[in-house]
Chain A
Amino acid sequence: MPELSRPLPAEDRLVLLPKNPGSFFVFWLFSAGRAEAFASGAFAGELELRLACVDDGAQASVLKAGWQAGRAYLPVPAQGKTYQASLYALRGDAWEKLLESNQAAAPAAAGMAEERAYASMEFHKKVLS
């Protein structure tokens, strides 16, 4: 997978972006102190991304990821609802919430059949290629 060529400022950040009716994209960064806590073993290397429905507060899904992965795709539990992600890390036996994301709404599934067309360059490339 392609990566940035230059390091970013070490800051805590968790961002949730809509991709399509079926999935969200989430990415995270850690401050130097937090990264050190993972590197030194104060936190376990595997973290949990928990997705909660903002509309009813119910926890919707959990995804495990390595702390250095930095990004993941989360399945959308229910279209048309608004969600918020939280990032948890395991310290000893207890899960600790480290970061909370913005809220993001999942689109309702309409889909766009190919023959319906859209006027963008990638489509036109397909037309003429």
Chain B
Amino acid sequence: MSSRGSLMFLLHAHLPYVNHPRDSGFLEENWFFEAVVETYVPIISALERLAAEGIRPGVALSISPTLGAMLENEALEDKLQLYVDSRLELIEKELERAAGDPALLRSVKFYQKLYQEAAEVLHKYSGDLITPLKSLQHAGQIEIITTSATHAVLPLLTRPEAVRAQLAVAAEDYEDRFNRKPSGFWLPECAYEPRLNSYLKLSGFNYTFTESHAMEFAAPQAPNGVYSPYRTTNGVGLFARDAASSREVWSSKFGYPGDPAYREFYRDLGYDGDYEYVRPYLGSDGVRRPLGLKYHRITGPGNDLSAKEYYDPEAAMARVEAHASDFLARRMKQTDDFYAARGTRPLIVSCYDAELFGHWWFEGPAFLETVIRKIRAERLPLQFVTPSEYLNSCQEPAELTPGISSWGESGYFDPWVNESNDFIYSAVYAATDKMIETANRFRNQDLNSLAARALNQAARETLLAQSSDWAFLLYIGSHSDYAKGRLEDHSANAVRLLSEVIEKRVDEAALAELEQKNSVFPRLDFKVFASISKF
């Protein structure tokens, strides 16, 4: 059956770079472990299952360079293995505890399967989850794109050299990791401004994504709204996020994840369990925190966690089936309506944070897999396409310049610039400006290896200071001290290293420690921050 429209799923996977090689139980490293078990492994497994059955997923994944570095970091892989082993040990105890409670036992067994699957996948790939992603892309099953080096919100970097460095380092990192040049670029936080067009083009990217209201305020007006790709005046392809498909997945009023049958995120054994029983699995400080074993379902509206009922995996999967059918029915109606009005086949672009699938919306990976299966099984006139495929086959897109926008709260830059976090920018700019000035000063000089190492590490620290994550964590009031500390550490490290090079007094031992801890972008050359005339 010929297609009446195309669907494009883009899952953006990103975590801030968290690597504390000298600490055995660093709490913020749990972000990574939880995302691997609940999101990355389930998504990879779903994609592999589909591919093995001859059902091409055709989705796009954006893997941030910092997440890619963590997925390939052997020390983190070892810690991840310990994390999974410790949860499996706890689950064994839980099986005994739940023996007389069939409803609880059902949930515990479900988690046993989840963690066993994680252990098996990690074992199969020797802990490196980039390997299966690379294989899926190589086989043409998915398309992988990148984002800025440390997920900086690019419109908030006013220095052209800083934007260029974020993009150039990301492109090089992608090529090293995936053995090919990147074609697509995910704008961190979907944050766009027209100034970025030239940087995207000059860094070799063929296309990017914007929020839907970027097209509402495009110049000239976007003729097909968000339902077709466009091009910037310098030839960079543009895909606009479809608000309707986002709403149906995530809206508090109309979205699927709030279904009463789905897993409740906030009720967790770490809070419910007897303290002495769960104590060995909490952090070294002994503070109660989530352990990832969540046995209850949302149950109904209201925040009374004590009123939540046990999770029933089968009932949840039945809702997944229903939600996948509903999602596809709505996309069919969308494509039919558009075709009836315009006589052309629309493209519906659905972009989400990957971590929402699995970590936050526990049933998300199953929903994704079910949607893809249903298109095939029910012979629906829809097809999943990757961005490059679509651009290669569609008519020449119209030229336009999107409006300034982001997908953050209120649609602009408020989450990253407000009274809870605006103080960070003086530190970010102190590091960035000094990095650019020093790169210009030393770009054509013969440097000894110690000075070159110090400058390269200063460039790493500067990039890490620019990450969007520190401002965001301060904004939502989560791990604020950690975020502030990281931001100040990276900025101060950069400024100090640059001063040491200028004053010819590099502390080699301190440098070596930073190189081990903040070891992203091994090929990074500080000259990427130097000014060049074409920018």
Interface residues of A (CB under 8 A from B): 1-6, 8-9, 11, 13, 15-21, 25, 27, 29, 70-71, 102, 104-108, 110-112, 114-129
Asked if A120 and B407 sit within 8 Å, CB to CB, the answer is yes
A25 to B337, CA, bound (A): 42
Asked if B433 and A124 sit within 8 Å, CB to CB, the answer is no
Asked if B216 and A121 sit within 8 Å, CB to CB, the answer is no
Asked if A19 and B414 sit within 8 Å, CB to CB, the answer is yes
Asked if A107 and B404 sit within 8 Å, CB to CB, the answer is yes
Asked if A118 and B419 sit within 8 Å, CB to CB, the answer is no
A63 to chain B, nearest CB (A): 15
- Cβ 8 A contact of B407, one of A3, A8, A110, A119: A119
- Cβ 8 A contact of B488, one of A4, A118, A124: A4
- Cβ 8 A contact of B403, one of A1, A17, A110: A110
Looking at A1, A11, A13, A17, the one whose CB has the most chain B CB atoms below 10 A away is: A17
A-B contact pairs, 22 of them (CB 8 A): A1-B419, A2-B423, A2-B484, A15-B429, A16-B158, A17-B158, A18-B413, A20-B411, A20-B412, A20-B414, A105-B193, A107-B404, A107-B405, A107-B412, A112-B410, A115-B247, A115-B252, A117-B251, A119-B351, A119-B356, A122-B409, A124-B353
A5 to B247, CA, bound (A): 41
Closest to A72 in B: B422
B30 to chain A, nearest CB (A): 15
A-B contact count (CB 8 A): 174
A64 to B414, CA, bound (A): 23
Asked if A127 and B252 sit within 8 Å, CB to CB, the answer is yes
Interface residues on B, range: 35 or more
Asked if A123 and B488 sit within 8 Å, CB to CB, the answer is no
- Cβ 8 A contact of B254, one of A29, A106, A115: A115
Contact with A along B392-436 (1 / 0, CB 8 A): 000000000001110111111111011111111111011001100
Q: B217 at interface (Cβ–Cβ under 8 A)?
A: yes
Q: Collect the chain A residues with CB atoms within 8 Å of residue B434's CB.
A: 9
Q: Collect the chain A residues with CB atoms within 8 Å of residue B264's CB.
A: 128
Closest to B216 in A: A110
Q: B48 at interface (Cβ–Cβ under 8 A)?
A: no
Interface residues of B (CB under 8 A from A): 155-156, 158-159, 189-190, 193-195, 211-213, 216-217, 243, 246-247, 249-255, 257-258, 264-266, 298, 303, 351-353, 355-356, 360-361, 403-405, 407-415, 417-427, 429-430, 433-434, 472, 474-476, 484, 488, 492, 495
Asked if B429 and A13 sit within 8 Å, CB to CB, the answer is yes
Closest to B355 in A: A121
A120 to B412, CA, bound (A): 13
A1 to B426, CA, bound (A): 15
Q: Collect the chain A residues with CB atoms within 8 Å of residue B352's CB.
A: 119
For the complex of A and B, 5 pairs with smallest distance between CB atoms: A112-B411, A110-B213, A107-B404, A119-B352, A20-B412
Q: Collect the chain B residues with CB atoms within 8 Å of residue A17's CB.
A: 156, 158, 413, 417, 425
Asked if B246 and A117 sit within 8 Å, CB to CB, the answer is yes
A20 to B189, CA, bound (A): 14
Q: Collect the chain A residues with CB atoms within 8 Å of residue B407's CB.
A: 118-120
Closest to B160 in A: A102
Closest to A121 in B: B353
A47 to B211, CA, bound (A): 38
A115 to B414, CA, bound (A): 18
A126 to B356, CA, bound (A): 13
A51 to B109, CA, bound (A): 63
Asked if A110 and B411 sit within 8 Å, CB to CB, the answer is yes
Asked if B414 and A127 sit within 8 Å, CB to CB, the answer is no
Q: Collect the chain A residues with CB atoms within 8 Å of residue B266's CB.
A: 128-129
A106 to B354, CA, bound (A): 30
Q: Collect the chain B residues with CB atoms within 8 Å of residue A118's CB.
A: 190, 211, 246, 250, 407-409, 411
Q: Collect the chain A residues with CB atoms within 8 Å of residue B258's CB.
A: 127-128
Asked if B430 and A11 sit within 8 Å, CB to CB, the answer is yes
B245 to chain A, nearest CB (A): 10
B489 to chain A, nearest CB (A): 9
Asked if B408 and A25 sit within 8 Å, CB to CB, the answer is no
Closest to A122 in B: B476
Q: Collect the chain B residues with CB atoms within 8 Å of residue A124's CB.
A: 250, 257, 353, 356, 360-361
A103 to chain B, nearest CB (A): 8
Q: Collect the chain B residues with CB atoms within 8 Å of residue A3's CB.
A: 423
Q: Collect the chain B residues with CB atoms within 8 Å of residue A106's CB.
A: 404
A86 to chain B, nearest CB (A): 15
